[in-house]
């Protein structure tokens, strides 16, 4: 009986939660590809390769950053996996500049899975193969789930390292039971977006980080219905 690699990949990613540079390895263990890159994309966290399994994976990311096109951009914009099992047999009409740039890289298959936390689209995971490769439905679902987990870890790590000044309450604002307000807003986001309490709180914190607001300000906007995070699409959530 074959062993399911998915639980082991999840466990490895969770053990590496505070080491983003190690995030590519669980995907390599899960999917039989040549290389993997995990990247943030857009104005929220900037264009950056968080983890790359090898120099070629990092180079493929750099091409996409420089050209503003490629599978990682499509995955983030559409919030759906991009699956291209054979770039020679079926190059498609997308990414003409990117495909021209990698013509000497011998890449035959490329896949991208979005990094999404609630309404926040923060980047993508790129997987490439030097041989044609068609992912099974199970492999695609597992890679999507692993990317979702990686997205939560990346957002949490970014907030911890870059957004330590995000306060629960507004400076100078007294009373108002800030924790209760944030708890109520978290419950509303949970219901609107079908998220766990932890992920709903992370989405609120991520929005506060992106908008340079306190969590209390964002929570109040959610409760008075001037802000509906479930209706915000892509990077619009960051403005």
- pLDDT of 44-66, one tens digit each? 778 899 999 999 999 999 999 99
Residues carrying CATH 3.30.450.40, the chain: 6-160
Instruction: Dig out the tokens for 194 from the structure.
Output: 């079908």
> To which residue do tokens 């957004």 refer?
163
Question: Distances in Å between the alpha carbon of 33 and those of 42, 122, 143, 236?
Answer: 26, 23, 12, 33
**For residues 104-120, average pLDDT:** 91
Q: What is the pLDDT of residues 137-174, one digit of tens each?
A: 999 999 999 999 999 899 888 877 765 444 544 444 44
Average pLDDT of 170-193?
67
Distance CA 118, CA 122 (A): 10
Q: Supply the pTM of this predicted model.
A: 0.78
CATH architecture of 6-160: 2-Layer Sandwich (3.30)
């Amino acid at each position: 009986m074959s062993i399911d690699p998915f639980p082991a990949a999840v466990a490895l990613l969770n053990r590496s939660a505070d080491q983003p540079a190690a995030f590519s390895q669980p995907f390599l263990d899960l999917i039989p590809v040549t290389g993997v890159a995990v990247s943030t994309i857009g104005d929220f966290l900037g264009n950056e390769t968080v983890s790359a399994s090898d120099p070629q994976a990092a180079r493929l990311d750099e091409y996409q950053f420089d050209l503003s096109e490629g599978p990682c951009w499509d995955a983030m914009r559409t919030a759906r996996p991009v699956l291209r099992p054979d770039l020679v047999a079926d190059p498609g009409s997308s990414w003409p500049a990117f495909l021209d740039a990698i013509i000497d890289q011998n890449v035959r298959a490329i896949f991208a899975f979005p990094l999404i936390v609630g309404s926040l689209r923060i980047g993508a995971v790129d997987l490439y193969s030097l041989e044609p490769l068609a992912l099974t439905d199970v492999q695609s679902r597992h890679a999507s789930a692993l990317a979702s987990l990686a997205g939560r870890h990346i957002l949490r790590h970014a907030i911890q390292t870059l957004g330590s000044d995000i306060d629960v309450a507004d400076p100078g604002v007294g009373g108002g039971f800030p924790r209760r307000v944030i708890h109520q807003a978290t419950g509303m986001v949970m219901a609107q977006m079908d998220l766990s309490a932890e992920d709903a709180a992370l989405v609120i914190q991520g929005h506060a980080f992106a908008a340079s607001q306190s969590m209390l300000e964002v929570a109040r906007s959610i409760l008075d219905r001037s802000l509906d995070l479930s209706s915000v699409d892509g990077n619009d959530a960051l403005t």
